[in-house]
Structure 1
Amino acid sequence: MPSYDFVTVDVFTKARFGGNPLAVFPNAAGLSDEQMQAIAMEFNLSETTFVLPPTNPRNHARVRIFTTRTELPFAGHPNVGTGYVLATQDPNPPEHYTFEEIAGPVRVHVQRDAMGAIEGSRVSAPHSLNIDVAAPTAVVAACASLTESDIVTTSHDPLVASVGTPFVIAEVVSPQVLASARPDLTAFRHHAHAHPELGDLKLLLYTRRGETLTHLRTRMFAPLTGVLEDPATGSANAALAALLVSLAPGDNVDLHFEIEQGIEMGRPSLIIASGRKTAEGPVEASVAGTCVPVMRGTLTI
């Protein structure tokens, strides 16, 4: 019976049992689609990644990302964590990896601390910002068990935005309102059916922390993809950073956001998300964070 080694890491944290846990299979060649999905269900984490040989030898690996229910085209915390795991297992890691994913090539930059030890990675989103349809404020409020007055529409209406994976992004009035939000599965199911243009209704709520515009707190609910709430969502926060940069005045803007997530879940996370726009081109985004190793083992199929 074939066996496969795995590693788990906590992503977007410097403290074990914080951040967003991830399972990584560094050598997953031979596993079928069905086996990968079953393994992700067994681990029951937000995502599990499977590293395979690249299709193009110029790239470093093909990486597949599974939630407990489905495969994702791109996600932030799985790429941050997978890049960290591969770099720590490589006696001479490169400065960056290029992963082949459904959304396209993903560039993952290895990050080191002041002593030169590998501590995490930074992921460049595979696509520039794409802003799609607006989402009715009433839909967002119902799905999050809030009132319409809890949703801020001064800067933008709730809308679907993506830099690789689409999310409904909405601002709420305060950290207290954000903390009071609760995903309503019945509302998610109803409104996903009534509003197919919103996709599977992955909902990112955010608010400002204090007076600064670049210190944020977020929560992400995606019960229709098997994630009732996520402790740290790199792809969603990258899209948020890109969206806010797109709305910022000026043609040349480069902003870095310190984003807290997972507070309400008891898994505090810190995500560094960046967005950049120029007069000549689209808005690009990246997301970075530190990782902590937790477990390693072998799974026999």
Structure 2
Amino acid sequence: MARSYSVYDVFTDRKLAGNPLAVIFDGEDLSDEAMQSIARETNLSETVFVQKSANPAYSARIRIFTPGRELPFAGHPTVGTAIALAERTHGSDATLDLVCVLEENVGPVRCAVRLREGVASFAEFDLPRKSQQIAMPLEKLGIANALSLKVTEIGFENHVPSIWSAGVPFLLVPIHDIGAAQRMEFDPQLWEKTVPFVDGALASAYIYCRGGVNHSAKFHARMFASGMGIVEDPATGSAAAALSGAIHHFDRLPDGHHPITIEQGVEMGRPSIIHLHMDVEAGAISNARIGGQAVRLATGSLDL
């Protein structure tokens, strides 16, 4: 059976940048094992399988697989799939604003999509869950060793390593500056010996600091997930979603709207821009959204 697919570069407005995503449009009747095998074959950070939802109010059900395992939720697959489905239905040269709901294992995810002729499409989604801290003991020296950094380079201002999740848990590691981010070397063996398992899986590493190579970026980030089969990820929306909780917790954001731009993938030669928006009311995050652009790189069919 021929199953159509597209490859999108997500969190970027140009091809061969951002985070590549494979979207398998004909995902019906595939077993979990088959989907995992296809994800290993594409060998991208994530591969999405589009299926019909049992709820007619939802645009689709999507299953998200890394080369190593299935995820309940992920950011760049959500943005990329929302754009891919909109362009598949209305054409990439349409001028249109629309809203869709994607059913993911984490639950329904509401997405807004903006299509503009001659401009890379944009999508943003409401976080399916607010970021929550997971309190677990962490060894700062061990984390520093796993990143090949000095222990004095771990943390800035009052930011310290902590675990947060908005559907997928990450160990968020603040480091001193971009220089440390660029010269760090991730050691997966030392990381596995040092950090805890969360929800039955090794916590992935999300390294962040203030500022960016791009003058508009407020944070610079890198993400490593050896437990998912990902050496390094060019853009991680689910980690940015987790970061929203840490930013509010450590920076004590005042009430109001807070737009935050995060750059990632710079060291990989695949620069990505992730837009995080947070609304704070009565000292708590009332709403948060992740958004970004995506461009189609390839289309074809799988003969399965």
Change (3 A) 1:117 1:87: farther
Partner Cα separation in structure 1 for residue 271 and residue 283 of structure 2: 37
Q: Over aligned residue pairs, what C-alpha RMSD do you find? A: 2.3
The C-alpha deviation readout for 1:117-157, integer Å capped at 9, x for no partner, is 66121021100121112533223212222221111153232
Give the equivalent residue in structure 2 for 1:7.
6
Partner Cα separation in structure 1 for residue 162 and residue 279 of structure 2: 20
Amino acid across the alignment from 1:271: I
Deviation of 1:29 (Å):
0.8
Partner Cα separation in structure 1 for residue 198 and residue 81 of structure 2: 31
Deviation of 1:281 (Å):
5.4
Partner Cα separation in structure 2 for residue 274 and residue 70 of structure 1: 29
SS at match of 1:264: coil
Give the equivalent residue in structure 1 for 2:33.
34
Deviation of 1:246 (Å):
3.7
Give the equivalent residue in structure 1 for 2:126.
124
The C-alpha deviation readout for 1:45-97, integer Å capped at 9, x for no partner, is 00000011112222111110000010001000011100010000113877111
* Correspondence 1:218 to 2:221: yes
* Correspondence 1:235 to 2:238: yes
Partner Cα separation in structure 1 for residue 246 and residue 98 of structure 2: 28
Give the equivalent residue in structure 2 for 1:170.
173
Give the equivalent residue in structure 1 for 2:184.
181
Partner Cα separation in structure 2 for residue 3 and residue 172 of structure 1: 47
Give the equivalent residue in structure 2 for 1:78.
77
Partner Cα separation in structure 2 for residue 261 and residue 190 of structure 1: 26
- 2:131 touches 2:244 (CA, 8 Å); kept in 1? no
Amino acid across the alignment from 1:24: V
* Correspondence 1:263 to 2:266: yes
Partner Cα separation in structure 1 for residue 76 and residue 253 of structure 2: 30
Give the equivalent residue in structure 1 for 2:22.
23
Amino acid across the alignment from 1:300: D
Deviation of 1:43 (Å):
0.3
- 2:132 touches 2:245 (CA, 8 Å); kept in 1? no
Q: Once the two structures are aligned, what percentage of the paired residues are identical? A: 35
Give the equivalent residue in structure 2 for 1:107.
110
Give the equivalent residue in structure 2 for 1:287.
290
- 2:59 touches 2:100 (CA, 8 Å); kept in 1? yes
- 1:242 touches 1:283 (CA, 8 Å); kept in 2? no
The C-alpha deviation readout for 1:248-268, integer Å capped at 9, x for no partner, is 446523211111110100111
Deviation of 1:245 (Å):
2.6
From 244, 250, 253, give the equivalent of 2:247.
Answer: 244
- 2:9 touches 2:15 (CA, 8 Å); kept in 1? yes
Partner Cα separation in structure 1 for residue 279 and residue 241 of structure 2: 11
Equivalent pairs counted in the alignment come to 297
- Taking structure 1 as the reference length, the TM-score comes to 0.91
Give the equivalent residue in structure 2 for 1:61.
60
- 1:110 touches 1:118 (CA, 8 Å); kept in 2? no
